[in-house]
Amino acid sequence: MSPISDRIEALAELHCIDVLTLQEWFLERASIREFDAGIPRAKAEQLALQDVEDELNARPHGNRPTTTRALSRAHSGSEGPREED
């Protein structure tokens, strides 16, 4: 595994989030930075990892987003419609 994959896995475990959900959000953020901002992929991945870490660390314990939609909504500050559990 790469250091970034290892970090994503560790963050998922630490914050009790499904690793695939966190990986999906990370890849989405990296792609946005790479294509929309024109940043080289390696740098886009570093920045995306920082996005993920910042978002998770900003949330109070027990109030963690659990889906990509929730992570994106939390990151953008948009409330939008909420899914019923």
Confidence at residue 79, expressed as pLDDT on a 0 to 100 scale: 45
Residue range 7-32: average pLDDT?
93
Both tokens assigned to 15: 């914050």
Predicted local confidence at residue 59, as pLDDT: 76
From the list 17, 19, 8, the residue with the least C-alpha distance to 52 is 8
Residue 58 CA to residue 77 CA, distance in Å, equals 12
pLDDT at 80 over 60: no
Which residue blocks in the chain are alpha helix, DSSP H?
A: 3-14, 19-31, 37, 41-58, 68-76
Give the global pTM: 0.66
SS3 17: coil
| Nearest Cα residue to 25 out of 63, 54, 58, 61 | 54
pLDDT given at position 82:
45
Determine the average pLDDT of the residues in 31-53: 94
Please check the confidence at residue 72 and state whether its pLDDT lies above 90.
no
